[in-house]
Structure 1
Amino acid sequence: MTKQEKKPVTLRQVAECAGVSAATASLVLNGKGDISEATRQRVLSAVRQMKYKPRNGRTRPDSVNTLRFLKIARHGHTVNRDHNHFISDYIDGMSYEATRRDYSLQVESFEGTDVDKIAESLRSGDLRGAVILGTELTKEEVQCLARAPLPVVFIDTYHPLLDLSFVDMDNDQAVFALLRHLAGRGFRRIGMVASHTAVTNFALRHDAFLRGMAALGLEADETLILSVDSTLEGAYSDGLAQLAAAPRVAEAYFCANDMIAFGFIKALREHGLRIPEDVSVVGFDNLPMSAMSEPALSTIEVPKRRIGAMAVRLLDDMLIATAPEPATKVLISGALVGRESVGTPSGD
């Protein structure tokens, strides 16, 4: 019987022993960064003490083991300060997994920057791979960035026909969970507040709404499907105008995200309707303010940290592979969060 081999020491363990971050330890080992001599010696001492050896095929003497997260806002209607907490959770998941796998993680933000310039940024510096926030990217922009000469994974978007790697929430599963929740409460006349903002996940949720309604044997009445801007004020003003022109109001509305739900609830109230006594409303994202709104909003908790961590895992698989890896597409299920914005049908 052979003795079980010990797991190799990781850079994160070395960093913990030295009392520094994994990124600092990585800089020390690669002879880079403005690191004090005392800190450098602590790291090197920990390396000797723990007999740390970089994983084969990973660390080059002249290069830091760096991954980069590109936070890209094209129009800013969704990638904005209202969603900073959402994006921070992505970064937390990436940072944890990167550290666990001996990488350092950079974060770079682009607002309204030409996509060709963003692509150029991936051709410079000592980068091993990149995770790209695809929320506001068109299909063509995704393809442009994918031509970078290093492994890339896109998150918060999904294009099934592209031979590229994506990690996204499972919109079909999540939307169906919301619709089943509403149907279980007795709602039959269910509408949707979609968005014409150029965001792939909004289009995917619209399609998921139609499929989910059909799966539940419910009619998706086109007169109950609205389309609004995805900002708080835009959802309010567009929603108010469309409610005034609509022949009737749904018993319950699924909104494409929480921010749209907040604006639409304001429009419903101005239209003389109470939530949830007259109309129930559900959102998507579980932003922190969802629990504090009045009434508290029923919504979908998106597994943001898991999405970020999975993107780093996919990059790691590409980097250590001895042959080109096939593109991988991962959809991660969300969880229903039931709150006070859903009541029962008013029976009008």
Structure 2
Amino acid sequence: MAVTLKDVATLAGVSVKTVSNVVNGYAFVKADNRRRVEEALAATGYRPNMGARNLRRGRTGFIALMVPELSVPYFGELAGLVITAAQRRDWNVLIEQTQGTRDREQASLASLGPHLIDGAIVSPEALEADDFARLDPGVPMVMLGEHAVDFPIDHVAIDNVRAAQQAVGHLVAMGRRRIAAIGQNPHRGTAALRLAGYRAALAEAGLPESGALVAPALNYHRRDGAEAMAALLDGPEPPDAVFCFNDLLAIGALRAAAERGVRVPADLAVVGFDGTEESAYSLPSLTTVAPDKSAIAQRAVELVHRRINAPGVFPPEDVQTPFSLRIRESTTGG
């Protein structure tokens, strides 16, 4: 039979109310009573009935996480970190995959209501301000990533322009002068910011920008990177370095280079973006911009928690989390 608060109270020699106060984290419990309750909780293996607790609070015990593609390692890794951060607050996470299309993102948001979830963390690629304006105001929401929406909502991201500028600056410092970029896409906020950083680094180094060295990518998958890299290498002035707007594009670029006998990094230096686990195990290992995904997940969950517990009290926050440039074999050779 399930252990009850009364069972714990009897073993600890305190009231049921005292056990409830300890279980719910209330501070005003005598130290000796708290110790006895905690020992009794451990001895009985008591687990709170989260469903009943949430019902009393008018909560569901769930938050939603909306991402474009779980098959993209960045989003898969981020989802795992959000789940871990949410579990620390006794939340379950419902994950919605949108493929980054506006129709799917609109449908996902429309399905989110306070009868299903307590809050949501969304990573959109195509939504516009009007879409957010139609949201149920009873659902606290935090936006992740680089998608710029002129709407008062909490937002957690890194400084993509500065991160891209640092990545390309590293290539310049390694003596590269014909630096290509793979990932231009007018429908991705990510692409615009990372392209701006790429251009800023070239300008700072006094290097001319060549449209022939900026390759588009319809999607950010390995195949797109391989195809774009092949086109660049087959062009009249092949690059001696390439900055890819995510790690999957960069890994595709490494494959295309290997198929053509192009040595990395002797002939071609390659940098990715996202700091995924896969980047450390490519051959050669990939230099990449690594957002602090753990910080992104934790801050997003913290903001949702604050909105749920104090709705309308705090103005929206625009939070920038750290990033680092992980320098590996694809640019240094060692």
Q: Same fold (TM over 0.5)?
A: yes
Structure 1 distance, partners of 2:186, 2:251, is: 16
Q: Deviations over 1:169-227 (max 9, x none)?
A: 22123212212322222223322112437432122211221123323443333222111
Deviation at 1:301, TM superposition (A): 1.6
Deviation at 1:142, TM superposition (A): 5.4
In the alignment, what sits opposite 1:215?
204
Structure with more relative contact order (C-alpha pairs < 8 Å, separation 6 or more):
1
Deviation at 1:335, TM superposition (A): 0.8
In the alignment, what sits opposite 1:173?
162
Match 1:258 to one of 247, 255, 273: 247
Structure 1 distance, partners of 2:263, 2:284, is: 10
Match 2:51 to one of 27, 48, 53: 27
In the alignment, what sits opposite 1:234?
224
Are 1:107 and 2:94 counterparts? yes
Q: Deviations over 1:40-93 (max 9, x none)?
A: xxxxxxxxxxxxxxxxxxxxx1523634123343xxxxx14242xx33443344
Q: Which amino acid aligns with 1:64?
A: R
In the alignment, what sits opposite 1:273?
262
Deviation at 1:280, TM superposition (A): 0.5
Deviation at 1:161, TM superposition (A): 3.6
In the alignment, what sits opposite 2:82?
94
Measured at CA, do residues 183 and 239 of structure 1 come closer, stay the same or move farther in structure 2, by a change above 3 Å? Answer: closer
In the alignment, what sits opposite 1:201?
190
Structure 2 distance, partners of 1:216, 1:147, is: 48
Measured at CA, do residues 238 and 165 of structure 1 come closer, stay the same or move farther in structure 2, by a change above 3 Å? Answer: same
Structure 1 distance, partners of 2:116, 2:185, is: 39
The answer (yes or no) to whether the contact 2:106–2:131 under 8 Å persists in 1 is: no
The answer (yes or no) to whether the contact 1:258–1:285 under 8 Å persists in 2 is: yes
Are 1:243 and 2:271 counterparts? no
The answer (yes or no) to whether the contact 1:92–1:305 under 8 Å persists in 2 is: no
Flag structure 1 segments of 5+ consecutive residues without an equivalent: 1-7, 32-60, 74-78
Measured at CA, do residues 148 and 70 of structure 1 come closer, stay the same or move farther in structure 2, by a change above 3 Å? Answer: farther
Deviation at 1:10, TM superposition (A): 6.8
Measured at CA, do residues 164 and 214 of structure 1 come closer, stay the same or move farther in structure 2, by a change above 3 Å? Answer: farther
Flag structure 2 segments of 5+ consecutive residues without an equivalent: 1-20, 27-37
Match 2:296 to one of 298, 304, 307: 307
State, as a whole percentage, how many aligned pairs show the same letter.
23
Q: Which amino acid aligns with 2:75?
A: I
Measured at CA, do residues 107 and 294 of structure 1 come closer, stay the same or move farther in structure 2, by a change above 3 Å? Answer: same
In the alignment, what sits opposite 1:187?
176
Match 1:69 to one of 60, 64, 71: 64
Measured at CA, do residues 193 and 67 of structure 1 come closer, stay the same or move farther in structure 2, by a change above 3 Å? Answer: same
Measured at CA, do residues 10 and 188 of structure 1 come closer, stay the same or move farther in structure 2, by a change above 3 Å? Answer: farther
Q: Which amino acid aligns with 1:270?
A: E
- Show the 5 A alignment for 1:117-136: 117-123=107-113, 125-134=115-124, 136=125
Deviation at 1:311, TM superposition (A): 0.8
Structure 2 distance, partners of 1:237, 1:20, is: 57
Deviation at 1:99, TM superposition (A): 4.2
The answer (yes or no) to whether the contact 1:261–1:281 under 8 Å persists in 2 is: yes
Are 1:336 and 2:315 counterparts? no
- Show the 5 A alignment for 1:279-318: 279-318=268-307
Structure 1 distance, partners of 2:25, 2:288, is: 36
Normalising by structure 2, what TM-score? 0.76
The count of residues paired between Structure 1 and Structure 2 equals 295
Normalising by structure 1, what TM-score? 0.73
Structure 2 distance, partners of 1:196, 1:214, is: 21
Deviation at 1:234, TM superposition (A): 2.5
The answer (yes or no) to whether the contact 2:120–2:142 under 8 Å persists in 1 is: yes
Deviation at 1:25, TM superposition (A): 4.4
Structure 2 distance, partners of 1:20, 1:291, is: 42
Deviation at 1:275, TM superposition (A): 1.0
Q: Which amino acid aligns with 1:94?
A: V
Q: Which amino acid aligns with 2:123?
A: L
Q: Which amino acid aligns with 1:66?
A: G
Cα root mean square deviation, aligned: 3.1
Q: Deviations over 1:302-333 (max 9, x none)?
A: 21121011111122232333644322111212
